[in-house]
Amino acid sequence: MSFAGLLETIALGAVAFFASIVTDPDVVLNSRYVSFAKHFINADFLNSAKNLILVSGVIMLVLIAFKNGVKAIVTYWMARFGVGIEAYFGSELLKGFLTLPYKWHLTCNTADLVNAVN
C-alpha cells in the first residue's frame, strides 16, 4: 500500500471514529481503546463527551487536510513528469523530422507531420 493510500485509510478511520463519537459519546468514552489512549497520553481533558468530540473533530480535519495536501503534491509531480516526457519526445520527433531529406518532405502530408509532433 502506498503512503497516500495509507493516509486515505487513516483519514477515513478518523471520520468513522468521529461519527461514532457524535452518535453515542458515552459508549466511546467507556471504550477500552479510548481509556488506553487517555492513560497513554495522560489526557484528563478527554473525560467529557464535548471535549472528546472537539479533539477528535480537530484531529479528523487535520488528517484530511494533510491527506489532501499529499495527494495534491503527488498529482502535481505526476503531471510535471508527464509534461516533461511529452516535451522530450516532441522535441526528439521534431529533430528527427527536420533532419530528413527534402525529398521525403515533398512526399509527406504537412498536417500529418504537425499532428505527429503535437
Each residue's pLDDT tens digit, 28-81: 888 888 888 888 888 777 778 888 888 889 989 999 999 999 999 999 999 999
Query: What is the number of other CB atoms lying within 10 angstroms of the CB of residue 105?
Result: 12
Q: pLDDT at position 86, please?
A: 92
Q: pLDDT at position 110, please?
A: 80
Rounded CA-CA distance 14/20 in Å is 10
Q: pLDDT at position 74, please?
A: 92
* Pair 23, 52: CB distance under 8 Å: no
The model's pLDDT over 15-31, given as tens digits with 9 standing for 90+, comes to 888 888 888 888 888 88
Region for 42 from its dihedrals, namely left if φ exceeds 0, alpha if ψ lies in -120 to 50, beta otherwise:
left
* Residues in CB range of 17: below 8 A, 6 or more apart: 28, 56, 60
Chain-centroid distance of CA 14 in Å reads 16
Rounded CA-CA distance 78/30 in Å is 45
Q: pLDDT at position 51, please?
A: 84
Q: pLDDT at position 112, please?
A: 83
Q: pLDDT at position 42, please?
A: 80
Rounded CA-CA distance 37/51 in Å is 14
Higher pLDDT, 18 or 113: 18
pTM of the model: 0.69
